[in-house]
Amino acid sequence: MQAKTMLIASSALMGLMMPAGAMAADQAPTAATIAAAAARADATVRAMKPEEKTVLTHGIMPLPLMPGTPPPPADSIPGAGYIAGIARLGVPALKETDASLGVSYVMGLRKDGATALPSGLSLASSWNPELAYQGGAMIAGETRAKGFNVLLAGGVNLTRDPRNGRTFEYLSEDPLLSGMLVGASIRGIQSQGIISTIKHFALNGQETGRKFVDIRISEAAARESDLLAFQIGIEQGQPLSVMCAYNVVNGAPACGNDWLLNKVLKKDWRWKGFVMSDWGAVPNLETAINGLDQQSGESLDPAVFFADKLAARAAGDKAWAARLDDMNRRVLTAIYAAGLDKSQPQPGGKIDFAANGLVALEAAKQGIVLLKNNGALPLAASAKSIAVIGGYANSGVLSGGGSSQVNSEGGPAVAVPLGGEGPFAGFMAQHYHRSAPLAAIRKLAPQANVTYRDGNYIADAVEQARKSDVAVVFVTKWSSEGLDQADLSLPNGQDALVAAVAAANPRTIVVLETGNPIAMPWLDKVAGVVQAWYPGARGGDAIASVLFGETNPSGHLPITFPASVKQLPRPVLDGYNQYEANFAGDPPFPGAKLSANYDIEGSDVGYRWFARTGAKALFPFGFGLSYTTFASNGLSVVDRPGKGLFATFTVKNTGAREGATVGQVYLTARNGAAKQRLVGFARVNLAPGASQTVTVPVDSRLLADWVKDGWQVAAGTYSFALGEDAEHLQTPVTVKLAARKWKD
Ligand code: GLC
């Protein structure tokens, strides 16, 4: 059975996709509606009184977190942020909540729960923009139902260092995959009449010293990697707000970086929304003239710069007065484009947690990556005895820490606090979502004797494994905002546990609940490895469904698993053993210095670096096994005059059961010089024996170099290849391209 599909990765396609059980008609703003909103914003700015012009430019954290700060306004909701409105002009207050994975829990201060999507890495492992859209629409529905109108989502920083504590929140090491997915997610969020951010702009690649680390990178390298992920995400998703980052970029703070904000974002990309700061990321008033539009969480900054100080500056300087008008115009454009002046979310809205849980379940299933299977998987439902070991598998599944922490009603099944002091200590706790793999396994193997051992005592676990047909060891590695990881090892002696259990029972399956890539010293001793990431509100069910083959795993790695940190551009994460990480990321003393040289790899992030150095990964970008087999072939890359480059190829299910896989097309060389870049992908679902021919557009920026102030494709021969993953490529095909130069 042959099916031809034209996949046009454009906002037109996104517009055709409605979320399952859409909470409201698709209100996602388009470039046209944003332009119309900007015109309305202009009129409102002209009607503003001088004293109203710094209402929309700064806001608070409506949490009783900070001693000495006044109580939050009566109409605020415990969450991340609150920006007052202007009732006289019909401008509503902005009520902001985190984040990309659902409505955050803020340490239970609201005493309500929300549906947790799986982690960003899990979503990215699906390579499925439609799934991203549906997840975004679902969490936006819950955002509205709780009375918020801004979702601080869209975390899309490239995962340059696998030890970054926020890798779990982000998507991938590749700008195309990250941009397409974050754009779809943002479109889903804004389809519900909610303002979404895209964040953290830009190059926020580590947590150590996050507020003062100076990222050194050439413009070309930035434009071809991290900035391209944002650019594609903005094109695809039309986010109404950008959140600038904590870190410094080439000597200037990201939230006051004229090049990043005024030149790249607002001038080159012609973006019309508003830039909000990260919380505690505003060092001075000058950030306003350098492109920042709104000071968030102002009590975390040295001063409230964007109120009286800003008004005074504008009163005495025409350029500042014009800037202040522009700041208001941008915030108002977002409010009008999202329709917030017409329809205000109210707290107490109904949430269908069962339906929303199904969205999280499907996302988790599609995000699970089968890394190894010597035939032991799927488990036979007829297995007589199964030893389930470790990972709090009797209680729930792990989630990541920090501002993106979501919990269901009733809070976490298990919470392991890290202790420590300060207003953010409450964020530093390992939370397990209420979805126990053990219960889900028992449900799918009712006849089996399924036992559980917590894994804290190796001999105890080994004894149980020895007596069982199969052992399933759950290993966990918690990750959080504010902290990077020392290395790729599993903590708490889990590597030894896995090795001992595998020695006792060759049919040992390891299920990873990790926020990052990890090392696996026991890999050749175990029968199977299932990467479940932080699998969200229904993660236990998703894991069991894959283990027993009810779901055929279809995930493909969005991030390289290095064989060793020695393979990385920076084997030692800058500042890791120099400064004690703290959640806020503040300098340990005034004048503390830290810099990270991203020009080592430049735009060759992740698999591109491995291709350049020839290093072989433990598991490469794009890798993922299935319970069936696939073959892809017939790649052709055609330059259609006036339309651009298109890649066409066919994928066939050559196995005995239905399954999904991801066809991947890579640039491999330009005029004979090796250069690897993902240029296209398509997820396809196929019945046994079926095949599908797909055509995907190839974005020319992925073939180009950034030269001076624009993109350049040199004339010559370009080689492209299909890949099962970034390391396993087929024989390339070549295309002759004419020279091209263009500006953004
Ligand atoms: C944080 C995070 C950001 C979050 C914000 C509000 O520190 O960096 O992602 O949206 O504060 O909680």
Statement to judge: residues 537 and 644 lie in one domain: no
Q: Can you tell me the distance from the alpha carbon of 243 to that of 471, in angstroms, rounded to the nearest whole number?
A: 45
98 lines ligand 1 (CB under 6 A): yes
Q: Are residues 507 and 379 in the same domain?
A: yes
Residue 402 alpha carbon to ligand 1 centre in Å = 8
CATH number reported for the structural domain that contains residue 315 in this entry: 3.20.20.300
Q: Which two tokens stand for residue 535?
A: 């699998």
| CATH code (residue 433) | 3.40.50.1700
Q: Does some domain include residue 595? A: no
Per-residue burial over 219-246, b = 16 or more CB atoms within 10 Å of its CB, e = otherwise: bebbbbbbbbbbbbbbbbbbbbbbbbbb
Q: Quote the pLDDT of residue 24.
A: 62
pLDDT of residue 424: 73
* End-of-domain residue from the set 531, 547, 563: 547
Exposed (0-12), middle (13-18) or buried (19+): which is 30, by Cβ within 10 Å? middle
Claim to verify: residue 462 and residue 543 sit in the same structural domain: yes
Ligand 1 atom at minimum distance from 99 CA: 10
Last residue of a domain, one of 498, 520, 547: 547
Give dist(CA 738, CA 730) in Å, integer: 25
- Residues of the chain falling short of pLDDT 70: 1-24, 65-67, 423, 581
Instruction: Say if 356 falls within a structural domain.
Output: no
CB of 279 within 6 A of ligand 1: the answer is: yes
CATH number at residue 672: 2.60.40.10
Q: Which helix (H) or strand (E) holds 253?
A: strand 252-253
Asked whether residue 131 falls in the same domain as residue 239, the answer is yes
Neighbours of 324 (CB within 10 A): 26
Whether residue 581 is contained in a domain is answered as: no
361, part of any domain: no
Do 104 and 251 belong together in one domain? yes
**What is the residue type of 149?**
N
Task: Please tell me whether residues 203 and 126 are part of one structural domain.
Answer: yes
Domain that holds residue 738: 630-742
Closest alpha carbon to 603 in 175, 121, 166, 127: 175
150 CB less than 6 Å from ligand 1? no
**Pocket residue to mutate for ligand 1, from 403, 428, 582, most atoms within 8 A of Cβ:** 403
Residue with the smallest CA separation from ligand 1 atom 7 is 279
- Position 666 in a domain: yes
User: 50 and 138: one domain?
Assistant: yes
Do 256 and 109 lie in one domain? The reply is: yes
My answer on whether 320 and 409 are in the same domain is no
Do 325 and 386 lie in a common domain?
no
Burial of 299 (0-12, 13-18, 19+ CB in 10 A): middle
Residue of minimum CA distance from atom 6 in ligand 1? 80
Are 322 and 374 members of one domain?
Answer: no
> Is position 357 within any domain?
no
Domain total of the chain: 3
Atom of ligand 1 nearest to the CA of 169: 9
Residue 152 CB–ligand 1 contact under 6 Å: yes
Q: Is residue 321 one of the residues assigned to a domain?
A: yes
Q: Is residue 322 part of a domain?
A: yes
pLDDT in tens, 529-587: 999 999 999 999 999 999 999 999 999 999 999 999 999 999 999 999 887 767 777 88
What spacing in Å lies between the alpha carbon of 231 and ligand 1's midpoint? 21
Is residue 233 within 8 Å of residue 183, measured between CB atoms?
yes
Between the CA of 146 and the centroid of ligand 1 the distance, in Å, is 19
CB atoms near residue 586 (< 10 Å) = 16
pLDDT of residue 584: 74
Q: Is the CB of 403 under 6 A from ligand 1?
A: yes
- Are residue 402 and residue 329 in the same domain, yes or no? no
Query: What pLDDT is recorded for position 587?
Result: 85
